[in-house]
Amino acid sequence: MIRIQARPRHMFSWDFDLYLEGELLAGFDMAWLREGGTFTYGGREYHLTREGLWSGEFLLMSQQQVLARATKESAFVRRFLVRSGDRALALEPASPFTRRFQLLENGAVIGSIVPEHWFTRACTLQFPDDLPVPLQVFLFWLVVLMWRRDANTGAA
């Protein structure tokens, strides 16, 4: 299991730095006006985006190639179906009223994204060793989108 620490760059920031064993693994920058973002890993730039301006599938792209797709089942449900290569995954909250998310494959929990406590966005990501790091960052980005939507809804 890979264990990554995610830390927001600033107190009110939605940009994160991801650390593996204390070393910076990747950092991602959220787009301000759209649901998107970018990060660099292994010298390669990746894009996190929506297929359409405000709708469509969520995509992980690099060099004009789609590496993973996520579909949100419903506007009212915080669950994603994620496809990457031959893998089919589900990303969903551990319970209806929590910020903790779990990753499932064939109905079994294989990973998680767990906030350190209620009042922070800092969290721990745990994923299987065979899940590529860019896909892990993509999954975390999907969770951050849900957190940001929840925060924006609560502020309104």
Q: 155 or 9: which carries more pLDDT confidence?
A: 9
For residue 60, the model assigns a pLDDT of: 97
Homologous superfamily assigned to 2-155: Tubby Protein; Chain A (3.20.90.10)
Q: How confident is the model at residue 154 (pLDDT cuts 50, 70, 90)?
A: low
Do the beta carbons of residue 91 and residue 101 sit within 8 Å? yes
Q: CA 69 to CA 84: how far, in whole Å?
A: 7
> Phi and psi for 62 in degrees, rounded to 5?
-150, 135
pLDDT (average), residues 96-103:
90
Do the beta carbons of residue 26 and residue 39 sit within 8 Å? yes
Q: CA 116 to CA 130: how far, in whole Å?
A: 25
pLDDT (average), residues 83-94:
96
- Report pLDDT digits (tens) over 27-72: 989 887 678 899 999 999 999 999 876 678 999 999 999 999 999 9
Q: How confident is the model at residue 126 (pLDDT cuts 50, 70, 90)?
A: very high
